[in-house]
C-alpha cells in the first residue's frame, strides 16, 4: 500500500516500532551524540529535548523543492531544537534558541491531519532526528484517524544509520543534507567532527530503502531520495568530495538540490570564512563540480527534466552584482 507506513500500521509493525523507539529514550543514544540521558524523565542531552517533541510551527510550505511543494504545498512541521549546532544556523530562533511549544502525540497527530485536510502533498518533518520516537507515536494515532499522505524525512543528515534502518517501510521520501566532507569543518562549524562518516553511511541506507526519486504525472515526488547540498563560502563544505561520493556510491540519477541561499545568520559573523554570502562565482564553480561528476540539479540531463527544475531553487539569493 502507499504510503508505505499503511502496511506497517495494518501489520502492527508501526505500533511496535513506536514503542521500541520510545523506550530508547530511557538512555538516549538515538543519534551520534550518544548522550545516554533519561529523556523519559525529561533529562536533556545535547538536543535539549525531553520526552515530548517541541514544535515551532506547522503550515503548508510553498518554498521547498518543486516536487515536494507542488501546487498545494508541503505539510511542514518545524521541530524545535536540533542535534546539530551550526554556527550559521538559518533557523536559529527555534532550532538553537528553542522557540516553540511542547506537544503530546495526540497534538502532533492532529497537526498531521490538519495539514492533510489543507490539501498538502505530504507531511514534511523538518529536523526530525531527535524526536523520531515521538513522531512514530503520533503517526500511529494519525494513521488510525485517516492519514494517508507520505512522510518526508527532512534532516540535517547527522544520523545513525541503524536508526534510519528502523524507518524502512515507514518513510517514503528522504531529504537529507550532505553538509560537509571534512571532519575539521564539521567540527568547527557544527560541533560534529564525525558528521561526514555518519552522514554518508546514513544517506547510503536511505538510498537503499527508497532509491532514486519517483515522480507522479504532476511532478510530485512519491518516493525516493533528494540530497540537499548548501554551498558555503570558501569551499567549506567540501563539495568535490561529496559529489564524488554521490556519483560513486549512489547513482548519477540522484535528485540533487544545490542550494545557494547561505546567509551568515546566528554566530556566522564571528567566523571570517563564512561571514558573507556565497558569490555567483562560487555557486557556478559548485555547479561545474557537480556536472563534472555526472550529476545535475534536479533531474539528470538524460531525463529531460533538467530545464524544468534547474534554477528554481538556486541563484535567487545571489545578488546580480556579486562577483
Candidates 8, 14, 18, 31; binder of ligand SF4 (CB under 6 A) is 31
Cα–Cα nearest to 228, from 214, 217, 210, 242 = 242
Q: How far apart are CA 58 and CA 41, in angstroms?
A: 27
Residue 30 engages ligand SF4 in binding (rule: CB under 6 A): yes
Q: Which residue, 34 or 288, is less far from ligand SF4 as judged by CB? A: 34
CB 102 to ligand SF4: min, Å: 15
**In the stretch 253-292, what mask flags binding to ligand SF4 with x, by CB under 6 A?**
----------------------------------------
CB 202 within 8 A of CB 160: yes
How do 53-61 and 74-79 pair as beta strands?
A: antiparallel
Nearest-Å Rg of the Cα atoms of the chain is 19
- Residues in 39-78 at the binding interface with ligand SF4, rule: CB under 6 A: 45-47
CB 42 to ligand SF4: min, Å: 11
Candidates 8, 14, 18, 35; binder of ligand SF4 (CB under 6 A) is 35
SS3 per-residue string spanning 151-219 = EEEEECCCCCHHHHHHCCCCCCEEEEECCCCCHHHHHHHHCCCCHHHHHHHHHHHHHHHHCCCEECCCC
CB 36 within 8 A of CB 43: no
CB 62 to ligand SF4: min, Å: 30
CB 108 to ligand SF4: min, Å: 17
CB 32 to ligand SF4: min, Å: 7
- Residues in 74-113 at the binding interface with ligand SF4, rule: CB under 6 A: 83
Q: How far apart are CA 141 and CA 131, in angstroms?
A: 16
Q: Which residues in this chain contact ligand SF4 in the complex, by CB under 6 A? A: 28-31, 33-35, 37, 45-47, 83, 130
Amino acid at each position: 500500500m502507499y504510503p508505505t507506513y499503511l502496511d506497517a500500521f495494518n501489520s502492527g509493525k508501526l505500533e511496535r516500532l513506536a514503542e521500541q523507539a520510545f523506550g530508547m529514550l530511557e538512555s538516549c543514544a538515538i543519534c551520534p551524540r550518544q548522550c545516554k540521558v533519561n529523556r523519559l524523565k525529561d533529562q536533556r542531552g545535547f538536543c535539549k529535548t525531553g520526552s515530548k517533541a517541541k514544535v515551532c510551527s506547522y503550515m503548508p510550505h510553498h518554498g521547498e523543492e518543486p516536487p515536494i511543494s507542488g501546487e498545494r504545498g508541503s505539510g511542514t512541521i518545524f521541530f524545535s531544537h536540533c542535534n546539530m549546532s551550526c554556527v550559521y544556523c538559518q533557523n536559529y530562533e527555534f532550532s538553537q534558541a528553542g522557540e516553540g511549544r511542547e506537544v503530546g502525540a495526540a497534538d502532533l497527530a492532529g497537526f498531521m491531519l490538519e495539514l492533510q485536510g489543507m490539501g498538502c502533498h505530504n507531511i514534511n518533518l523538518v529536523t526530525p532526528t531527535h524526536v523520531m520516537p515521538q513522531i512514530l507515536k503520533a503517526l500511529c494515532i494519525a494513521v488510525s484517524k485517516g492519514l494517508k499522505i507520505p512522510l518526508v524525512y527532512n534532516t540535517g543528515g547527522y544520523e545513525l544509520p541503524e536508526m534510519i534502518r528502523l524507518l524502512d517501510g515507514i518513510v517514503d521520501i528522504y531529504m537529507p543534507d550532505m553538509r560537509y566532507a571534512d571532519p575539521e569543518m564539521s567540527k568547527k562549524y557544527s560541533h560534529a567532527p564525525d558528521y561526514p562518516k555518519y552522514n554518508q553511511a546514513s544517506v547510503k541506507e536511505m538510498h537503499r530503502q527508497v532509491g532514486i526519486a519517483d515522480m507522479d504525472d504532476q511532478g510530485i515526488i512519491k518516493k525516493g531520495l533528494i540530497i540537499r547540498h548548501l554551498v558555503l563560502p570558501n569551499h567549506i563544505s567540501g563539495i568535490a568530495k561529496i559529489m564524488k561520493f554521490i556519483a560513486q556510491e549512489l547513482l548519477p540519477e540522484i535528485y540533487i538540490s544545490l542550494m545557494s541561499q547561505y546567509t551568515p545568520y546566528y554566530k556566522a559573523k564571528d567566523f571570517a570564512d563564512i561571514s558573507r554570502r556565497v558569490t555567483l562565482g562560487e555557486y557556478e564553480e559548485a555547479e561545474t563540480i557537480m556536472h563534472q561528476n555526472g550529476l545535475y540539479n534536479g533531474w539528470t540531463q538524460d531525463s529531460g527534466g533538467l530545464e524544468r527544475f534547474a534554477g528554481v531553487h538556486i541563484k535567487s539569493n545571489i545578488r546580480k552584482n556579486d562577483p
